[in-house]
Amino acid sequence: MNFDAVKQILDSANQPPYRIKSLVGAIQANRLTDYDQLSSWPKTLRQALKDQLPFTSYSNTQLISGTSQTKKALLELTQGGSIETVLIPIKDNQYSVCVSSQVGCAMGCSFCATGTLGLSRSLTAEEITDQIFFWKLNFPEAVIKTIVFMGMGEPFANELAVNQAIDWLQTYYGIGARHITVSTCGLIKGIENFAHNHPQVNLAISLHAATQELRQQLMPIANKVDLEALSQAIHQYLKHTNRRITFEYLLIDSVNDSSQNLKDLADWLAQFPLQLVHVNLIRYNQTTDKYQQPSNNRVYFARDYLMNQGIVATIRKSYGDDIAGACGQLSRKQYQKEEK
Protein backbone atom coordinates (compact mmCIF):
# COMPACT_ATOMS: atom_id res chain seq x y z
CA MET A 1 0.00 0.00 0.00
CA ASN A 2 1.36 3.35 -1.02
CA PHE A 3 0.80 5.47 2.07
CA ASP A 4 1.63 8.76 0.39
CA ALA A 5 -1.03 8.11 -2.21
CA VAL A 6 -3.54 7.07 0.48
CA LYS A 7 -2.74 10.28 2.35
CA GLN A 8 -3.39 12.34 -0.76
CA ILE A 9 -6.76 10.71 -1.27
CA LEU A 10 -7.64 11.31 2.38
CA ASP A 11 -6.50 14.93 2.09
CA SER A 12 -8.61 15.57 -0.95
CA ALA A 13 -11.63 14.06 0.82
CA ASN A 14 -10.92 16.26 3.86
CA GLN A 15 -10.21 13.21 5.98
CA PRO A 16 -7.64 13.31 8.77
CA PRO A 17 -4.35 11.48 8.08
CA TYR A 18 -4.67 9.41 11.28
CA ARG A 19 -7.19 7.35 9.38
CA ILE A 20 -4.26 5.65 7.68
CA LYS A 21 -3.18 4.05 10.93
CA SER A 22 -6.74 2.91 11.57
CA LEU A 23 -6.79 1.55 8.03
CA VAL A 24 -3.77 -0.65 8.75
CA GLY A 25 -5.25 -1.68 12.11
CA ALA A 26 -8.65 -2.53 10.66
CA ILE A 27 -7.15 -4.54 7.84
CA GLN A 28 -5.07 -6.58 10.24
CA ALA A 29 -7.76 -7.09 12.86
CA ASN A 30 -10.46 -8.08 10.38
CA ARG A 31 -8.26 -9.75 7.81
CA LEU A 32 -9.72 -7.47 5.18
CA THR A 33 -8.54 -8.09 1.69
CA ASP A 34 -10.33 -5.32 -0.09
CA TYR A 35 -11.13 -1.62 0.51
CA ASP A 36 -14.83 -2.49 0.11
CA GLN A 37 -14.77 -4.29 3.43
CA LEU A 38 -13.91 -1.12 5.34
CA SER A 39 -17.55 -0.80 6.23
CA SER A 40 -17.15 2.03 8.76
CA TRP A 41 -15.55 4.27 6.13
CA PRO A 42 -17.51 6.66 3.90
CA LYS A 43 -18.45 4.88 0.70
CA THR A 44 -17.03 7.60 -1.53
CA LEU A 45 -13.68 7.26 0.19
CA ARG A 46 -13.63 3.50 -0.23
CA GLN A 47 -14.50 3.92 -3.87
CA ALA A 48 -11.76 6.51 -4.38
CA LEU A 49 -9.19 4.21 -2.82
CA LYS A 50 -10.43 1.29 -4.86
CA ASP A 51 -10.35 3.23 -8.11
CA GLN A 52 -6.93 4.71 -7.58
CA LEU A 53 -4.84 2.34 -5.52
CA PRO A 54 -4.11 -1.34 -5.67
CA PHE A 55 -4.61 -2.94 -2.26
CA THR A 56 -1.26 -4.70 -2.37
CA SER A 57 1.79 -4.57 -4.65
CA TYR A 58 1.95 -8.36 -4.89
CA SER A 59 -0.43 -10.77 -6.53
CA ASN A 60 0.41 -14.43 -6.06
CA THR A 61 1.99 -15.57 -2.85
CA GLN A 62 3.43 -18.82 -1.65
CA LEU A 63 3.81 -19.56 2.03
CA ILE A 64 6.48 -22.04 3.01
CA SER A 65 6.28 -23.29 6.57
CA GLY A 66 9.03 -25.44 7.93
CA THR A 67 9.19 -27.43 11.11
CA SER A 68 10.31 -24.40 13.07
CA GLN A 69 8.07 -21.44 13.79
CA THR A 70 9.88 -19.47 11.13
CA LYS A 71 7.83 -18.84 8.05
CA LYS A 72 8.99 -17.76 4.66
CA ALA A 73 6.87 -16.33 1.90
CA LEU A 74 7.56 -15.74 -1.74
CA LEU A 75 5.68 -12.76 -3.08
CA GLU A 76 5.16 -12.37 -6.80
CA LEU A 77 5.10 -8.65 -7.45
CA THR A 78 2.51 -7.08 -9.71
CA GLN A 79 5.23 -4.93 -11.28
CA GLY A 80 7.38 -8.00 -11.96
CA GLY A 81 9.79 -10.23 -10.09
CA SER A 82 9.52 -12.30 -6.92
CA ILE A 83 10.92 -11.59 -3.48
CA GLU A 84 11.21 -13.38 -0.19
CA THR A 85 10.23 -12.23 3.26
CA VAL A 86 10.68 -14.17 6.48
CA LEU A 87 8.71 -14.10 9.75
CA ILE A 88 11.03 -14.98 12.62
CA PRO A 89 9.84 -15.72 16.16
CA ILE A 90 11.41 -13.69 18.98
CA LYS A 91 9.41 -14.88 21.99
CA ASP A 92 5.78 -15.62 22.85
CA ASN A 93 3.74 -14.05 20.08
CA GLN A 94 6.42 -11.51 19.15
CA TYR A 95 8.08 -11.64 15.78
CA SER A 96 10.70 -10.04 13.65
CA VAL A 97 10.23 -9.61 9.90
CA CYS A 98 13.11 -9.86 7.47
CA VAL A 99 12.43 -7.79 4.36
CA SER A 100 13.95 -7.65 0.89
CA SER A 101 14.93 -4.34 -0.66
CA GLN A 102 15.60 -5.46 -4.23
CA VAL A 103 14.69 -8.25 -6.66
CA GLY A 104 18.06 -10.01 -6.69
CA CYS A 105 21.26 -8.14 -5.90
CA ALA A 106 24.10 -6.70 -7.95
CA MET A 107 26.78 -7.18 -5.29
CA GLY A 108 27.58 -10.79 -6.17
CA CYS A 109 28.92 -11.99 -2.80
CA SER A 110 30.32 -15.46 -3.39
CA PHE A 111 28.50 -17.11 -0.47
CA CYS A 112 25.05 -15.62 -1.08
CA ALA A 113 22.20 -17.25 -2.98
CA THR A 114 20.73 -13.86 -3.89
CA GLY A 115 24.11 -12.68 -5.15
CA THR A 116 24.14 -15.36 -7.85
CA LEU A 117 20.90 -13.99 -9.31
CA GLY A 118 22.19 -10.57 -10.27
CA LEU A 119 19.96 -7.54 -9.93
CA SER A 120 16.58 -7.36 -11.66
CA ARG A 121 15.40 -4.13 -10.08
CA SER A 122 15.01 -2.17 -6.87
CA LEU A 123 11.79 -2.29 -4.90
CA THR A 124 9.53 0.66 -4.24
CA ALA A 125 8.80 1.73 -0.65
CA GLU A 126 5.38 0.21 -1.06
CA GLU A 127 6.82 -3.14 -2.13
CA ILE A 128 9.09 -3.09 0.91
CA THR A 129 6.42 -2.25 3.49
CA ASP A 130 3.90 -4.58 1.85
CA GLN A 131 6.07 -7.46 3.05
CA ILE A 132 5.05 -6.49 6.59
CA PHE A 133 1.50 -5.95 5.40
CA PHE A 134 1.54 -9.52 4.05
CA TRP A 135 2.45 -10.98 7.45
CA LYS A 136 -0.08 -8.77 9.22
CA LEU A 137 -2.80 -9.97 6.88
CA ASN A 138 -1.91 -13.62 7.09
CA PHE A 139 -0.83 -13.86 10.75
CA PRO A 140 -2.78 -11.19 12.59
CA GLU A 141 -1.95 -12.94 15.87
CA ALA A 142 1.76 -12.20 15.34
CA VAL A 143 2.92 -9.02 17.03
CA ILE A 144 5.61 -7.61 14.78
CA LYS A 145 8.23 -5.97 16.96
CA THR A 146 11.30 -5.59 14.80
CA ILE A 147 12.16 -5.26 11.13
CA VAL A 148 15.49 -6.28 9.62
CA PHE A 149 16.57 -5.34 6.09
CA MET A 150 18.40 -8.63 5.57
CA GLY A 151 16.44 -10.28 2.80
CA MET A 152 17.25 -10.05 -0.88
CA GLY A 153 19.15 -7.02 -2.05
CA GLU A 154 21.49 -4.29 -0.84
CA PRO A 155 19.43 -1.60 0.96
CA PHE A 156 21.96 1.18 0.30
CA ALA A 157 21.75 0.49 -3.42
CA ASN A 158 18.10 1.53 -3.08
CA GLU A 159 18.37 4.37 -0.60
CA LEU A 160 15.36 6.51 -1.53
CA ALA A 161 12.81 3.72 -1.27
CA VAL A 162 14.44 2.31 1.86
CA ASN A 163 14.33 5.76 3.51
CA GLN A 164 10.69 6.13 2.60
CA ALA A 165 9.91 2.63 3.88
CA ILE A 166 11.66 3.33 7.19
CA ASP A 167 9.57 6.48 7.62
CA TRP A 168 6.35 4.61 6.85
CA LEU A 169 7.24 1.79 9.23
CA GLN A 170 7.58 4.30 12.02
CA THR A 171 4.58 6.45 11.14
CA TYR A 172 2.02 3.89 10.05
CA TYR A 173 3.12 0.60 11.56
CA GLY A 174 4.29 2.09 14.85
CA ILE A 175 7.69 0.38 14.72
CA GLY A 176 10.27 2.41 16.67
CA ALA A 177 13.50 3.44 14.95
CA ARG A 178 15.51 1.35 17.39
CA HIS A 179 13.54 -1.72 16.36
CA ILE A 180 14.60 -1.41 12.73
CA THR A 181 17.96 -2.67 11.45
CA VAL A 182 19.48 -2.05 8.05
CA SER A 183 22.26 -4.37 6.92
CA THR A 184 24.76 -3.32 4.27
CA CYS A 185 27.69 -4.94 2.56
CA GLY A 186 29.48 -1.63 3.12
CA LEU A 187 28.43 1.10 0.67
CA ILE A 188 30.22 4.19 1.95
CA LYS A 189 27.84 6.87 0.76
CA GLY A 190 24.92 4.89 2.15
CA ILE A 191 26.54 4.66 5.58
CA GLU A 192 27.23 8.41 5.62
CA ASN A 193 23.69 9.29 4.56
CA PHE A 194 22.21 6.81 6.99
CA ALA A 195 24.01 8.46 9.91
CA HIS A 196 22.29 11.73 9.02
CA ASN A 197 18.89 10.47 7.91
CA HIS A 198 18.28 7.74 10.47
CA PRO A 199 20.67 8.12 13.40
CA GLN A 200 18.33 6.09 15.63
CA VAL A 201 17.89 3.16 13.26
CA ASN A 202 20.33 0.27 13.82
CA LEU A 203 23.14 -0.29 11.37
CA ALA A 204 24.63 -3.72 10.61
CA ILE A 205 27.68 -4.09 8.43
CA SER A 206 28.45 -7.35 6.67
CA LEU A 207 32.18 -7.60 7.26
CA HIS A 208 32.91 -11.34 6.91
CA ALA A 209 36.68 -10.80 6.63
CA ALA A 210 39.08 -8.38 8.28
CA THR A 211 41.91 -8.46 5.77
CA GLN A 212 41.62 -6.78 2.41
CA GLU A 213 42.75 -9.86 0.50
CA LEU A 214 40.27 -12.26 2.06
CA ARG A 215 37.41 -9.77 1.87
CA GLN A 216 38.08 -9.30 -1.82
CA GLN A 217 37.90 -13.06 -2.32
CA LEU A 218 34.50 -13.23 -0.66
CA MET A 219 32.84 -9.97 -1.63
CA PRO A 220 33.37 -8.13 -4.94
CA ILE A 221 32.37 -4.84 -3.26
CA ALA A 222 35.72 -4.98 -1.41
CA ASN A 223 37.44 -4.22 -4.74
CA LYS A 224 35.69 -0.87 -4.80
CA VAL A 225 35.50 -0.10 -1.11
CA ASP A 226 38.61 -1.24 0.72
CA LEU A 227 38.77 -1.82 4.45
CA GLU A 228 40.48 1.51 4.97
CA ALA A 229 37.65 3.43 3.30
CA LEU A 230 35.10 1.34 5.20
CA SER A 231 36.76 2.08 8.53
CA GLN A 232 36.75 5.83 7.79
CA ALA A 233 33.03 5.73 7.09
CA ILE A 234 32.47 3.77 10.30
CA HIS A 235 34.47 6.28 12.36
CA GLN A 236 32.33 9.07 10.91
CA TYR A 237 29.16 7.14 11.62
CA LEU A 238 30.14 6.49 15.24
CA LYS A 239 31.17 10.10 15.74
CA HIS A 240 27.86 11.35 14.45
CA THR A 241 25.50 8.85 16.10
CA ASN A 242 27.37 7.33 19.03
CA ARG A 243 25.29 4.22 18.30
CA ARG A 244 26.56 0.67 18.47
CA ILE A 245 27.18 -1.04 15.15
CA THR A 246 26.61 -4.73 14.56
CA PHE A 247 29.34 -6.35 12.48
CA GLU A 248 28.07 -9.47 10.79
CA TYR A 249 30.69 -12.12 10.37
CA LEU A 250 29.74 -15.19 8.38
CA LEU A 251 31.76 -18.20 9.51
CA ILE A 252 32.77 -20.41 6.60
CA ASP A 253 34.71 -23.59 7.31
CA SER A 254 38.46 -23.22 6.70
CA VAL A 255 37.92 -19.95 4.82
CA ASN A 256 37.59 -17.26 7.48
CA ASP A 257 37.31 -19.13 10.79
CA SER A 258 40.94 -19.82 11.75
CA SER A 259 42.57 -18.40 14.87
CA GLN A 260 44.51 -16.04 12.65
CA ASN A 261 41.30 -14.85 10.94
CA LEU A 262 39.76 -14.16 14.33
CA LYS A 263 42.86 -12.34 15.51
CA ASP A 264 42.71 -10.20 12.35
CA LEU A 265 39.07 -9.46 13.14
CA ALA A 266 39.78 -8.50 16.76
CA ASP A 267 42.75 -6.35 15.68
CA TRP A 268 40.72 -4.56 13.02
CA LEU A 269 37.82 -3.87 15.37
CA ALA A 270 40.20 -2.56 18.05
CA GLN A 271 40.38 0.76 16.15
CA PHE A 272 36.79 1.50 17.25
CA PRO A 273 35.51 2.11 20.79
CA LEU A 274 34.67 -1.48 21.73
CA GLN A 275 31.55 -0.50 23.66
CA LEU A 276 30.12 0.52 20.27
CA VAL A 277 31.01 -2.78 18.61
CA HIS A 278 28.88 -5.92 18.50
CA VAL A 279 29.86 -8.92 16.43
CA ASN A 280 27.10 -11.18 15.23
CA LEU A 281 28.55 -14.51 14.13
CA ILE A 282 26.52 -16.17 11.42
CA ARG A 283 26.91 -19.83 10.65
CA TYR A 284 27.25 -20.15 6.88
CA ASN A 285 24.18 -21.70 5.31
CA GLN A 286 25.18 -23.94 2.47
CA THR A 287 24.27 -22.37 -0.86
CA THR A 288 27.05 -23.81 -3.04
CA ASP A 289 29.45 -26.74 -2.87
CA LYS A 290 32.27 -24.23 -2.80
CA TYR A 291 31.95 -23.54 0.93
CA GLN A 292 31.10 -25.66 3.94
CA GLN A 293 29.44 -24.93 7.26
CA PRO A 294 31.83 -24.82 10.20
CA SER A 295 31.29 -27.22 13.12
CA ASN A 296 29.47 -25.91 16.19
CA ASN A 297 32.77 -26.07 18.05
CA ARG A 298 34.36 -23.62 15.62
CA VAL A 299 31.45 -21.25 16.03
CA TYR A 300 31.67 -21.35 19.83
CA PHE A 301 35.43 -21.01 19.63
CA ALA A 302 35.04 -17.84 17.55
CA ARG A 303 32.57 -16.36 20.00
CA ASP A 304 34.75 -17.17 23.02
CA TYR A 305 37.86 -15.85 21.32
CA LEU A 306 36.24 -12.48 20.62
CA MET A 307 34.69 -12.25 24.10
CA ASN A 308 38.14 -12.85 25.59
CA GLN A 309 39.36 -9.87 23.57
CA GLY A 310 36.67 -7.72 25.17
CA ILE A 311 34.43 -7.75 22.09
CA VAL A 312 30.74 -8.47 22.56
CA ALA A 313 29.97 -11.39 20.25
CA THR A 314 26.79 -13.36 19.77
CA ILE A 315 25.88 -16.26 17.53
CA ARG A 316 22.93 -15.75 15.26
CA LYS A 317 20.43 -18.46 15.87
CA SER A 318 19.85 -19.94 12.48
CA TYR A 319 16.14 -20.03 11.96
CA GLY A 320 14.44 -21.96 9.29
CA ASP A 321 17.30 -23.77 7.58
CA ASP A 322 14.74 -26.43 6.82
CA ILE A 323 12.83 -24.07 4.57
CA ALA A 324 15.87 -22.31 3.20
CA GLY A 325 14.26 -19.51 5.14
CA ALA A 326 17.25 -17.88 6.72
CA CYS A 327 17.52 -14.40 5.31
CA GLY A 328 19.19 -14.23 1.92
CA GLN A 329 18.83 -17.91 1.32
CA LEU A 330 16.33 -18.00 -1.47
CA SER A 331 17.63 -20.63 -3.83
CA ARG A 332 18.05 -19.92 -7.47
CA LYS A 333 15.93 -22.92 -8.37
CA GLN A 334 13.03 -21.78 -6.28
CA TYR A 335 13.36 -18.26 -7.59
CA GLN A 336 13.25 -19.41 -11.18
CA LYS A 337 10.29 -21.62 -10.47
CA GLU A 338 8.54 -18.59 -9.03
CA GLU A 339 9.59 -16.39 -11.91
CA LYS A 340 8.83 -18.88 -14.64
Nearer to ligand SAH, 120 or 184 (CB): 184
Of positions 234, 327, 330, 334, contacts ligand SAH by CB under 6 A: 327
The answer to whether 335 contacts ligand SAH (rule: CB under 6 A) is no
How many amino acids of this chain bind ligand SAH (CB under 6 A)? 17
Q: Identify any residues that bridge with 278 across adjacent strands, giving them in sequence order.
A: 246, 312
Which lies closer to ligand SAH via its Cβ, residue 71 or residue 215?
Answer: 215
Instruction: Work out what residue 150 binds among ligand SF4, ligand SAH, none; the CB cut-off runs from 5 to 8 Å by kind.
Output: ligand SAH
Helices (H), 31-158: 43-52, 125-138
- The one catalytic residue in 84, 126, 127, 154 is 84
Phi, psi (deg, nearest 5) at residue 216: -65, -35
Q: How far is the CB of 41 from ligand SF4 (least distance, A)?
A: 39
Hey, which residues does 314 pair with through a beta bridge? 280
Name the residue nearer to ligand SF4 (CB basis): 114 or 163: 114
Binding partner selected for residue 186 from ligand SAH, ligand SF4, none, CB under the kind-specific 5 to 8 Å limit: none
CA distance 14 to 123: 31
Q: Is 84 a catalytic residue?
A: yes
Is 154 an annotated catalytic residue? no
Label residues 162-178 b or e (16+ Cβ within 10 Å = b).
bbbbbbbbbebbebeee
Q: How far is the CB of 42 from ligand SAH (least distance, A)?
A: 42
Interface residue with ligand SF4, options 84, 127, 130, 154 (CB under 6 A): 154
Q: Which is nearer to ligand SF4, 51 or 289 (CB)?
A: 289
Maximal C-alpha separation, the chain: 67
Within its chain, how far is the Cα of 278 from the centroid?
Answer: 18
Q: Of the two residues 2 and 122, which places its CB atom closer to ligand SAH in the complex?
A: 122
- Which residue among 107, 148, 245, 311 contacts ligand SF4 (CB under 6 A)? 107
Side-chain-side CA neighbours of 194 within 13 Å: the count stands at: 33
CA angle 290, 296, 302 (to 5 degrees): 90
Residue 327 contact partner, candidates ligand SAH, ligand SF4, none, CB within 5 to 8 A by sort of partner? ligand SAH
Indicate whether 154 belongs to the interface with ligand SAH (CB under 6 A): yes
206 binds ligand SAH (CB under 6 A): yes
328 near ligand SAH, rule: CB under 6 A: yes
Q: How far is CA 317 from CA 57, 92, 216, 282, in A?
A: 31, 16, 27, 8
- The edge-to-edge listing of strands for the beta sheet with 180-184 is 58-65, 71-77, 82-91, 94-98, 143-149, 180-184, 202-206, 245-251, 277-283, 312-315
Contact 166, 180 (CB under 8 A): yes
Residue 247 C-beta: closest distance to ligand SAH, Å:
10
State the DSSP H helix or E strand holding residue 221, giving kind and residue range, or none if neither.
Answer: helix 221-224
The answer to the question of residue 112 lying near ligand SF4 (CB under 6 A) is yes
Active-site residue identified among 105, 112, 185, 327: 327
Burial status of residue 274 (CB atoms within 10 A of its CB: 0-12, 13-18, 19 or more): middle
Q: Which does 146 bind (CB under 5 to 8 A by kind): ligand SAH, ligand SF4, none?
A: none
Q: Is 185 in the site for ligand SAH (CB under 6 A)?
A: yes
Compute the least distance from the CB of residue 84 to ligand SF4, in Å. Answer: 11
Torsion of CA 297, 298, 301, 307, to 10 degrees: -130
- Residues with catalytic function: 84, 327
User: Which residues of the shown chain bind ligand SAH in the complex (CB under 6 A)?
Assistant: 111-112, 150, 154, 183-185, 206, 248, 250, 282, 284-285, 287, 326-328
